[in-house]
Copies of this chain bind each other. A is one copy, B any other.
Amino acid sequence: MTRQHSENQDLFAIADLAKEFGISTRAIRFYEAKGLLSPERVGATRVFRRRDRARLILILRGKRLGFSLRDISDYLSLYDADRSQQVHLLVGKVEERLASLERQRDDLETTIAELKEIRELAVAPPTRSRSQAG
């Protein structure tokens, strides 16, 4: 299959997305079961559009950042809050998540800095002081 008509740049089969993002179809169905995706159906077959594809990208990025699907679900709701929620409530949640992410960024910066230091130490000659007996 894989979009044979060249017409539909907007419709994706489950296998298309699976291949594109290097995940299993099972995973995609699982995300739907958890409410992170909601593809349309043609008969029983799932049909994905751009919106779902975009959400999938966010899901995978969330996973790379170490978040649970539960977290990611909350996170996605920030994106499609089409003013369906009270604005101040939305802003509150965004602020929360931003704080968490910025903390994570600090952790990350610290870790990167430490690793770079380790790298330097590894390359540089040892400091030659009580280096024996361990």
Interface residues, chain A, with chain B CB atoms under 8 Å away: 61-62, 64-67, 78-79, 81-83, 87, 90-91, 94-95, 97-98, 101-105, 107-112, 115-116, 118-119, 122-123, 126, 134
A100 to chain B, nearest CB (A): 9
Q: Are A115 and B91 in contact (CB under 8 A)?
A: no
Q: Quick one: copies of this chain in the complex?
A: 2
Judge whether B87 and A115 touch: CB under 8 Å: no
Q: Is the CB of B107 within 8 A of A65?
A: yes
Which residue on B lies nearest to A65, using beta carbons?
B107
User: Could you name 10 residue pairs across A and B whose Cβ atoms are closer than 8 Å?
Assistant: A61-B111, A64-B104, A65-B107, A65-B108, A91-B123, A94-B115, A97-B115, A101-B115, A105-B112, A108-B108
